[in-house]
Amino acid sequence: MTTLGRGGAFWVDTEATSLSEADHLLQSLAAELALSEGVFGCTHLVRGERPRVVLSFTGASAEASRLLTDKGYEVTAGVPDTAGRAVLYPGVGRLTGTVTVAEVVSGSAIERVAVLGGSGEPAPDQRILTRDFVRPEWRDGELVLTAMPAAGGVLVPFEVPDPTPCCADH
């Protein structure tokens, strides 16, 4: 079992107000810092007086934390909560096109696939059309991908790559 807060974890405060903005920032920072494939990069929703999306990095070096501080970011040790949404994680680059549940679980840090509204877990040979956008979430210390049934008998990740903004047609 993987733990979000295991060793070398820190989080970065941001001005990002949407998940897509935070995803882009996280991926840009990871590229600038040349983070290894073993690093987890997650987004976390912060509510309250100043709603925003903050970023966490688990498994990154102290040097990465220092470089972010030097760039003007507020960096705090640990993680802001235990319910992060993973954007960067081991194996994410292999989750493209159509893969099976077994390939997701054996080839990435995702430990389980849950089907929205379903009972039990999908069969290992169940196909998942990734849309090249797979954002699992931490649940009780386990990285879980929530999927939903789609046309053609496949599953798709619950979160879509380009969501239509609320009230876009008004």
Cα 160 from chain centroid (whole Å): 13
Residue 113 has a pLDDT of 98
Comparing 4 with 91, which gets the higher pLDDT? 91
111 in Cβ contact with 140 (< 8 Å): no
What's the pLDDT at 2? Answer: 41
| pLDDT attached to residue 119 | 80
What is the reported pLDDT for 7? 53
Cβ-count burial of 67 within 10 angstroms (0-12 exposed, 13-18 middle, 19+ buried)? middle
pLDDT at 166: 56
pLDDT in tens, 100-132: 999 999 999 999 999 998 888 999 999 999 999
Q: What does each C-alpha distance from 113 to 72, 82, 122 come to in angstroms?
A: 38, 18, 7
Q: Are strands 137-139 and 127-129 parallel, antiparallel or unpaired?
A: unpaired
- Higher model confidence: residue 147 or residue 4? 147
| pLDDT tens readout for residues 10-63 | 999 999 999 999 999 999 999 999 999 899 999 999 998 999 999 999 999 999
What per-residue confidence (pLDDT) applies to 104?
A: 98
Computed on alpha carbons and rounded to an integer, the radius of gyration of the chain in Å comes to: 16
Task: Give residue 153's identity as a one-letter amino acid code.
Answer: G
Is residue 4 over pLDDT 50?
no
The pLDDT of residue 3 is above 70: no
More confident residue, 103 or 169: 103
